Structure 1
């Protein structure tokens, strides 16, 4: 049973929410995707608002969590992310984890909206909960400020 690495940056950072999709996984810890930024470029019907995406952006970074699980589980994650519907695509990226570069899978939106779409407070809460465990305080604060000022969310 081959294990793969998965970099989560959205609601999958919340371990309880992630277990809806992948029952058995190992939490490896905090990780960083460099030269990308976090954006909300797709409306998620089940999330009632914008859902997270990673967009190439030199000098920026996305903080998240690195998981490991059996490769056989990938179709479940593809299903969750709507790969079959053309919403997200699975990509391979270099993640910075404990001072090393690790090749991992993550997902990005295929057809990005021109303007960012406000996430629901519930979805944002899942992300903030995950960030509490895996992102720096500075990153979490910057994200929360952006949600409040940019989208008018009350968190």
Structure 2
């Protein structure tokens, strides 16, 4: 029995400084692609002052993310951070495709509310816009992980709401340009 689990991060936990706030054992082991899912934004986060990211099952779409190996002792912290206890996200186990074409089973979190499909990310309704600080955190993490350039360009197209202040975190991320 392993003392660790693999976690697929596609939002703010792409950034190593962010994930280690609540999960100090996190060690990035690579990147991967979750097939037949799309990235979307739905539930307002008081921490981030805007809509938070989720994955949604959707054929012929994919989500890139970081794969972290985390101590089982940190799993309750990660669940709490993701709001499992208040039914915001639910944990799932998914097969993530690695760069070498193999697959790895990972824990991932999906919001319990499934947003309506919007064909182009730029057409999200305003109430589903993430904040500038949230998107910047995701983008910094995507660049830190070396996610594919095409996917980073997609992330840059996500519209932002009017909030560009700091996030309510235990650590200052120092990421505002």
TM-score (norm 1): 0.91
5+ unaligned residues in a row in structure 1: which ranges?
A: none
**Residues 1:147 and 2:159 are matched in the alignment:** yes
Higher helix proportion (structure 1 or 2):
1
Alpha-carbon deviations, 1:37-74, whole Å to 9, x = none? 00001111111000000001101110010000111211
Partner Cα distance (1:138, 1:33) in 2: 15
TM-score (norm 2): 0.80
How many residue pairs match? The answer is: 153
Structure 1 residue 3: Cα displacement: 1.2
Q: RMSD in angstroms over aligned alpha carbons?
A: 2.0
Q: Please give the residue correspondences for 1:4-153 in structure 2 after superposition, counting only pairs within 5 Å.
A: 4-97=5-98, 98-114=100-116, 117-134=128-145, 135-147=147-159
Partner Cα distance (2:163, 2:97) in 1: 30
5+ unaligned residues in a row in structure 2: which ranges?
A: 117-124, 165-176
Partner Cα distance (2:140, 2:53) in 1: 14
Partner Cα distance (1:61, 1:152) in 2: 28
Partner Cα distance (2:55, 2:115) in 1: 13
CA contact (8 A) 1:7 1:106 kept: yes
